[in-house]
Structure 1
Amino acid sequence: MGALALLWGSTFLWIKIALDALAPAQVTLVRCALGAAVLLILCHRKGHRLPRSRALWGRLTVAAFFCNALPFALFSLGEQTVDSGVAGVLNATTPLWTLLIGLTTGTERGLSRARLGGLLLGFTGVLLIFAPWQRSGLAGWGSLAILGAAASYAVAFAYMGRALVGRGTPALALSAAQLVAATGLSALALPAGGLTPVHTDAAGLAAVVALGVLSTGVTFHLSVRLIADEGATTAATVGYLLPVVSVLLGAAVLGEALSVRVVAGMAVVLTGVGLTRWRRRAPGTAVAAAEPAPAVR
């Protein structure tokens, strides 16, 4: 979860810079294609083969639409008019959406008061960090696009936890196959605003490479593993850690100041995430997992 937060925390930055060179539809296609290429190379080195079942590829296509093609496009569209702070708050609604979907569909079981409190506390911490009441842009189509992307992630996490992981296919092969499907879906959408000329902006092109290789390929594989090991709702709580990462990177790299409010928000986020991972111990036994952890190798 820590590694995923570190790599995923820079996503909004890369998207912002990449939009200087590419249109939103082009950013979506390139990041999916680069992410798929990275995971296909890793699959080849590990000796894993992509799934051959038509039924499984059908499920992968559904997951690719909700987890990759749709939210990637919505984030790129939304960040044209929404600043990163507002985007961070809206993106942090993913764990809450995931919880709601899990409770509605019955896939979320054994939700303790500590875990529920942790989810709510984590979101409160995100609000403290970003202070959206001090920002503009909360009302508009850009915000709706990012909120839709967060909800789409939640649908995908719940679906993947129920229909894909823990069924015998290695997580790496699942990740690679899903990004291949997402690349195909993104290519189909390219005529809708993605045929504009590419600007030769070195920073923008470098950003889209980082976005595809690190913030798509590597992070998506880690997300699949986390869903398999911890369940959809717990995996989604990594969204609360992204603001903490971005704030710490801003302070360490850019020399940005840390206010008391931001530091307090970070502490609240970490406390909330800790509560979501709290498990009761039965006398004389190891920690009992609240959600099944299928063996995925």
Structure 2
Amino acid sequence: MSTTDAPSARATSADVPAPGSAPAPVATSTASRSAQDAPAPRRTFAWQIRFAFLCLVWGFSFLFMKLGTEGFAPLQVSLGRVAFGALVLLAFLVIKRERLPRSARTWGHLAVAALLLNALPFSLFAYSELTIPSTLASICNATSPLWGMALSVVALSEDRPTRRRVAGLGIGFLGVLTVLGAWQGFSGTDLTGTAMALGASLSYPIGWIYVRRTLARDEHSHLAKSSAQLLLATLQLAVVTALFTSMPTAFPAVPLLAVFALGALGTGVAFLLQYGLVAEVGPTTAQMVTYFTPVIATASGVALLNEHLAWNTPVGAVIVLAGAALTQSKPRTS
């Protein structure tokens, strides 16, 4: 998720990624070091092309999850996602000749980050898509900045709300009610699945607040910490998956390829592209990927999965994104 997606160094409410599709790498203490640590691949293509590719990857991640759950249990989809993503980052770690963190304290905090930013939200999204369309899951994912602003007011004393952000919060949740058809009594909407998707979106800002409080000054690179984080998420999901699911009796091609794409592209490669864009064009521009993700997810769900799209879904999505944009905006300075 996704995811910005591209978080700034401070990871305030305005920086919460929409990481339903991203590996949610850990923020560091300064913006300059964020750019220096960015494990950007060689800039073979213009940043606009890489930006468009990132939008596509994260937009299609919700379709990949839906396809994956057609052949595997949701926990197995999430396990494959973090495992394939970890392999990509570890390969790049070897190429860069970097090492994983050695501090036990860092690993302990990364274990919590792995739970809140990877294992839990990935699993909740996968379970939610058993009963709700991928389009609705992607719109729920877009509420992460709204949750982030609300939580940061409570958890981060220096991050005070402005009228603009409070207005964005109200508009955003009005959009959620529009998507769900509140005036119809939420008829036709699976509330359990929707609650899971919204819970996944809530898990991201909780994780980012924890990261900011515990790892903001950690000296390890983004690549090293994110590789370790995905390794820990893989271990967590491997244990839970072994306890609550049985070994698949078959490995159908389409669901397997969907899980591979979800992990290798939507989690591993997306991380490399994300920080390459942050380093090259800055977090504000890179963050715009957040607003394209639900559009692509909705288009792919309708076109490829034949998902029904009532009028209130796109209208509500626009309202949600407008609210999220307000919560992340800053007043003009003269």
Q: Distance in 2 between matches of 1:247 and 1:115?
A: 26
Counterpart check, 1:53 vs 2:119: no
Find 2:195's aligned residue among 125, 132, 144: 144
Q: Which amino acid aligns with 1:15?
A: M
The 3 A distance-change label for structure 1 pair 245 and 135 is: farther
Q: How many residues align?
A: 279
Shift of 1:20: 2.1
Given the superposition, is the C-alpha separation of residues 143 and 275 from structure 1 closer, same or farther in structure 2, using an over 3 Å criterion?
Answer: closer
Tell me, what secondary structure is at the counterpart of 1:246? helix
Comparing 146-155 with 240-249, which one deviates more in the overlay?
240-249
Q: Map residues 198-213 of structure 1 onto 2, 5 A cutoff.
A: 198-213=249-264
Q: Distance in 2 between matches of 1:56 and 1:220?
A: 20
Instruction: Mark the runs of 5 or more structure 1 residues left unpaired by the alignment.
Output: 284-297
Matches within 5 A, 1:209-228: 209-220=260-271
Partner of 1:289: none
Measured in 1, the distance between the counterparts of 2:125 and 2:311 equals 30
AA partner of residue 59 (structure 2): G
Counterpart position of 2:47: none
Moved more, 42-51 or 86-95: 86-95
Q: Residue 111 of structure 1 is aligned with which of 150, 158, 161?
A: 161
CA 1:66/1:274 → structure 2, altered by over 3 Å: closer, same or farther? closer
Displacement of 1:17 after TM fit?
Answer: 0.5
Aligned to 1:82, what secondary structure does the other structure show?
Answer: coil
Residue 43 of structure 1, CA deviation: 2.0
Tell which deviates more after alignment, 82-91 or 181-190: 82-91
Q: Is contact 1:22-1:198 (8 Å) kept?
A: no
Question: Secondary structure of the equivalent of 2:202?
Answer: helix
**1:1-297 equivalent positions in 2, closer than 5 A:** 1=4, 3=51, 5-106=55-156, 109-125=159-175, 128=178, 136-140=188-192, 142-220=193-271, 241-249=292-300, 265=316, 268=319, 271-283=322-334
Contact 2:146 2:172 in 1 (8 A): no
Report deviation, 1:279: 2.7
Q: Which moved more, 1:162-171 or 1:216-225?
A: 216-225
Q: Aligned in 2, Cα 1:143/1:267: closer, same or farther, shift over 3 Å?
A: closer
Secondary structure of 1:100's partner?
Answer: helix
Per mean C-alpha deviation after superposition, the further-off stretch among 65-74 and 273-282 is 273-282
Deviation at 1:199, TM superposition (A): 2.6
Any unmatched runs of 5+ in structure 2? 6-50
Asked if structure 1 preserves the Cα contact closer than 8 Å seen for 2:172 and 2:324, the reply is yes
Between the aligned partners of 1:51 and 1:15, the Cα distance in structure 2 is 31
TM-score (norm 1): 0.76
CA separation of 1:164/1:230 partners in 2, compared to 1, >3 Å: closer, same or farther? farther
C-alpha displacement of 1:196:
3.0
Q: Report which stretch shifted further, 176-185 or 191-200.
A: 191-200
Letter in 1 for 2:90: L
Report the secondary structure of 2:241's partner residue.
coil
Change in 2 beyond 3 A, CA 1:108/1:264: farther
Contact map agreement 2:68 2:259 (CA 8 A) in 1: yes
Relative distance call for 1:270 and 1:146 in structure 2 (3 A) is closer
- Provide the rounded CA distance (Å) in 2 between the counterparts of 1:187 and 1:255: 33
Q: CA 1:135/1:39 → structure 2, altered by over 3 Å: closer, same or farther? A: farther
Question: Is the CA contact (8 Å cut-off) linking 2:62 and 2:135 kept in structure 1?
Answer: no
| Distance change >3 Å, CA 43–CA 139, structure 1 → 2 | same
In 2, are the aligned partners of 1:20 and 1:199 still within 8 Å (CA)? no
Assess if the C-alpha contact under 8 Å between 2:80 and 2:259 holds in 1: yes
Partner of 2:41: none
